[in-house]
Amino acid sequence: MFNKEVYVGRREELKKLVSDGVIVLFGNNEAPNNYPNNAYYPFRQDSSFLYYFGQKRDGLVGVIDVESCKETLIGDDIDIEDIVWYGSVDSVADMAAQVGVGSSAPMAQLKVIIDEAVAKGRKVHFLPPYRHDTMIQIMDLMGIHPSKQREAASLELIMAVVKMRSVKTPLEIEELERASVIGYKMHTTAMKLIKPGVTEKYIAGQINGIAQSYGSQVSFGTIFSQHGEIMHGNPSMAPLEAGRLVLCDCGGETIEHYCSDNTRTMPVSGKYTQRQLDIYSIVEDCHDLVLGIAKPGVKYFDVHMAVCRLMTERLKELGLMKGDVDEAVAAGAHAMFLPHGLGHMMGMDVHDMEGLGQIYVGFDEETRPNLEQFGTNALRMGRRLQEGFVVTDEPGIYFIPDLIDEWRATGHCAEFLNFDMLETYKDFGGIRLEDDVLITADGCRFLGKDIIPYHPKDVEAFMADN
């Protein structure tokens, strides 16, 4: 936990951004895995609750009365049964004091507070819930059916939270740097373990353990697969095969729940083939292009488009694409290779604040998403960058056999694609490179004191030495 002034300051700021009413921030509850007493471990608190109330225990709700400024941490103290099985924890009153909250109350009081606000015609602000137990809680408290809760959530509160959480303070950047150290250990361990015959699942399990050893947990389910063409491919029991590529996309979360998210693509045999290098060097140059253009005031949508143009130019040189580069990109032909966006916000959530609504996090009135075009519709972050934003830079080139077949059959973007050559790449897999970018006063830099090797010579040298 940060010191209490951090949380007091954040709630003060939030009260200035929300005009009136009562703000209710739901913490998470334990989530059973296969029976009630076997919950998913480790417990993960809701990020917005953590941001304003700092406490990591399950079963808590934070209430802020915007007009009276009264703040209450709501939750039931644990009983002797819980103490016997899980050990003692601080009382809710102590937890409130630790984060500078003036009062605490048992859970039953929450309905009283909300009923009183509703009776007076005051607004009750809550964020869009994403867990079903929270949805039931909201239904019990306010009578709003889960199917209506996203639209009933407070836009004013969403916008206030997005505004605050988007800009990372120096304290948060330190935490993100710590998360990068965990990510570095995860990735370099994977690189050391890659050998023909070792299973994907074994390596993923080893690096997941690193995330738990040095921090709280993985920042998302580790992607470790020789099928790099599957965007979020789960590690399987398949043994690694010499000659293939293996894609590793993973990150860790610090004890304070700040994330890292990196991707590397390695040759199982320790050396890339020329065919792999031809594609790899395009992804590498697209990845590095971002460092030269991302800075405050620039739209991330335009950075994404610059990457798409460079990728198209280079794929044209290889013979996989053809025609006019600008026309190909305008038609979305590059999405055959890059069906996702260049990146997303990152912070306490690896896709930061995605649960609040991507439209509010990655876009604004000036920069609207293009929801019509395949590929471009998967861009999670398009708006103008500001100092303190942290975004991912994650271009990739994938050869997805089903997508090749589908576009060939329908003739989609046929004037820009060399389908005969694409056929010969159906066994290639996919390459992605990803680093986390901090927007600085006049430019940007990668997070992480040590950058995980990604230039082919560095990857090969690292794999040969370890």
Question: Is residue 377 close enough to count as binding ligand GLY by CB under 6 A?
Answer: no
Contact letters for ligand GLY, residues 232-271 (x by CB under 6 A): -----------------x-----------x----------
Residue 247 or residue 289: which is nearer to ligand GLY going by CB? 247
Rounded to a whole number of angstroms, the minimum distance from the CB of residue 13 to ligand GLY is: 28
For residue 342 the two structure tokens come to: 């260049």
462 binds, among ligand GLY, Mn ion, none (CB under 5 to 8 A by kind): none
What are the E-state strand segments in 78-232? 103-105, 124-125, 217-218, 223-225
Q: Which parts of 326-345 interact with ligand GLY (CB under 6 A)?
A: 344
Rounded to a whole number of angstroms, the minimum distance from the CB of residue 447 to ligand GLY is: 14
Rounded to a whole number of angstroms, the minimum distance from the CB of residue 193 to Mn ion is: 22
Residues counted in the chain: 466
Contact letters for ligand GLY, residues 220-239 (x by CB under 6 A): x-------------------
Residue 1 or residue 231: which is nearer to ligand GLY going by CB? 231
For residue 458 the two structure tokens come to: 């560095």
172 binds, among Mn ion, ligand GLY, none (CB under 5 to 8 A by kind): none
Rounded to a whole number of angstroms, the minimum distance from the CB of residue 342 to Mn ion is: 10
Contacts of residue 344, defined as CB under 8 A and 6 or more positions apart, other chains included, come to 351, 352, 354, 362, 380, 381, 391, 392
Q: What is the DSSP string of 232-299?
A: TPPP-SPBP-TT-EEEEEE-EE-TT--B--EEEEEETTSS--HHHHHHHHHHHHHHHHHHHH--TT-B
Residue 117 or residue 342: which is nearer to Mn ion going by CB? 342
Are 192 and 271 contacting, i.e. CB atoms less than 8 angstroms apart?
Answer: no
220 binds, among ligand GLY, Mn ion, none (CB under 5 to 8 A by kind): ligand GLY
Residue 73 or residue 307: which is nearer to ligand GLY going by CB? 307
Rounded to a whole number of angstroms, the minimum distance from the CB of residue 309 to ligand GLY is: 22
200 binds, among ligand GLY, Mn ion, none (CB under 5 to 8 A by kind): none
Residue 43 or residue 220: which is nearer to ligand GLY going by CB? 220
Residue 175 or residue 394: which is nearer to ligand GLY going by CB? 394
Q: Mapping DSSP to helix (H, G, I), strand (E, B) and coil, where does residue 223 land?
A: strand
Residue 172 or residue 261: which is nearer to ligand GLY going by CB? 261
Rounded to a whole number of angstroms, the minimum distance from the CB of residue 9 to ligand GLY is: 30
For residue 21 the two structure tokens come to: 């009413």
Contact letters for ligand GLY, residues 174-213 (x by CB under 6 A): ----------------------------------------
Rounded to a whole number of angstroms, the minimum distance from the CB of residue 317 to Mn ion is: 27
**No. of H helices and E strands in the chain?**
17, 17
Q: Mapping DSSP to helix (H, G, I), strand (E, B) and coil, where does residue 437 land?
A: strand
**Cβ-based neighbour number of residue 330 at 10 Å:** 12
Question: Which residues lie across from 74 on neighbouring strands?
Answer: 61, 105
The number of C-alpha atoms within 13 Å of 151 and in the hemisphere containing its C-beta is 4
Question: Is residue 46 close enough to count as binding ligand GLY by CB under 6 A?
Answer: no
Contacts of residue 459, defined as CB under 8 A and 6 or more positions apart, other chains included, come to 191, 264, 266, 267, 272, 453
Tokens 């271009």 found at: 395
Q: From CA 359, how far away is CA 115, in angstroms rounded?
A: 31
Q: Which parts of 247-306 interact with Mn ion (CB under 5 A)?
A: 261
Q: From CA 109, how far away is CA 75, in angstroms rounded?
A: 9
How many residues touch ligand GLY under the rule CB under 6 A: the total is 4
226 binds, among ligand GLY, Mn ion, none (CB under 5 to 8 A by kind): none
Residue 141 or residue 223: which is nearer to Mn ion going by CB? 223
Contact letters for Mn ion, residues 341-380 (x by CB under 5 A): ----------------------------------------
Q: From CA 314, how far away is CA 98, in angstroms rounded?
A: 56
Contacts of residue 210, defined as CB under 8 A and 6 or more positions apart, other chains included, come to 182, 185, 186, 189, 252
Residue 101 or residue 342: which is nearer to Mn ion going by CB? 342
Closest CA to 444 of 296, 303, 251: 296
Question: Is residue 392 close enough to count as binding Mn ion by CB under 5 A?
Answer: yes
Residue 262 or residue 312: which is nearer to Mn ion going by CB? 262
Residues forming contacts to Mn ion in the complex (CB under 5 A) are 261, 392
Residues forming contacts to ligand GLY in the complex (CB under 6 A) are 220, 249, 261, 344
